[in-house]
Amino acid sequence: QVQLVESGGGLVKPGGSLRLSCAASGFILSEYYMAWIRQAPGKGLEWVSYISSDSSYTKYADSVKGRFTISRDNANNSLYLQMSSLRGEDTAKYYCARYLFGFFDHWGQGELVTVSS
Amino acid sequence: ETVLTQSPDTLSLSPGQRATLSCKASQSVASNYVGWYQQKPGQAPRLLIYGPSTRATGIPDRFSGSASGTDFTLTISRLEPEDFGIYYCQVYGGSPLFTFGPGTTVDVK
- How far apart CA A102 and CA A26 sit, in angstroms, is 21
What would the DSSP string read from start to end of A65-95?
A: TTTEEEEEEGGGTEEEEEE-S--GGG-EEEE
DSSP designation for A43: S
pLDDT band at A83 (very low <50, low <70, confident <90, very high): very high
**Closest chain B C-alpha to A2 CA, distance in angstroms:** 12
Q: Which amino acid is at B53?
A: S
Nearest CB among B33, B93, B100 relative to A46 is that of B100
* pLDDT tens by residue, A17-38: 999 999 999 999 999 999 999 9
Inter-chain touch A44–B103, beta carbons under 8 Å: yes
Which residues does chain B have within 8 Å of residue A61's beta carbon, measured at their own beta carbons?
Answer: 96-97
User: What is the model's pLDDT at position B73?
Assistant: 97
pLDDT band at B29 (very low <50, low <70, confident <90, very high): confident
CA-wise closest residue to B35 among B4, B8, B13, B62: B4
* pLDDT tens by residue, B30-43: 888 999 999 999 99
- pLDDT higher than threshold 90 for residue A93: yes
User: What is the model's pLDDT at position A45?
Assistant: 98
High-pLDDT (> 70) share of chain A, %: 100
User: What is the model's pLDDT at position B78?
Assistant: 96
- pLDDT higher than threshold 90 for residue A88: yes
Query: In 3-state terms, what secondary structure has residue B50?
Result: strand
Which residues does chain A have within 8 Å of residue B33's beta carbon, measured at their own beta carbons?
Answer: 102
Whether omega for the bond prior to residue B45 falls within 30 degrees of 0, making it cis, is no
Across chain A, mean pLDDT equals: 98
- Which residue of chain B comes nearest to A44, CA vs CA? B102
Which residues does chain A have within 8 Å of residue B2's beta carbon, measured at their own beta carbons?
Answer: none
**Closest chain B C-alpha to A116 CA, distance in angstroms:** 22
**Closest chain B C-alpha to A63 CA, distance in angstroms:** 10
